[in-house]
Amino acid sequence: MDAVTYPTPSVAAFLTQSLVPIRVLHDSQPLASRFNVQWTPTLVTLDAEGAEHHRSVGFRAPEELIPSLRLGIAKCAFDAGRVDQAAELLDRLVSEFPHSDAAPEAVYLRGVSRFKATHDPQALKQAYEALKAEHPGTEWEKRAYPYRLL
Max Cα–Cα distance, the chain, nearest Å: 49
Rounded alpha-carbon distances, angstroms, from residue 78 to 4, 95, 123, 142: 31, 19, 15, 21
**How far is residue 81's CA from residue 33's CA, in Å, rounded to a whole number?**
28
Rounded alpha-carbon distances, angstroms, from residue 118 to 84, 90, 104, 109: 9, 16, 21, 14
Question: Does residue 141 sit in helix, strand or coil?
Answer: helix
pTM (two decimals) = 0.94
Residue 54 sits at φ, ψ, to 5 deg, of: -155, 150
Question: Does residue 78 sit in helix, strand or coil?
Answer: helix
pLDDT at 127 over 90: yes
Are the beta carbons of 117 and 87 closer than 8 angstroms? yes
Domain spans of the chain, in order of start: 9-149
Average pLDDT over residues 131-144: 98
pLDDT at 26 over 90: no
What CATH topology corresponds to 9-149? 1.25.40
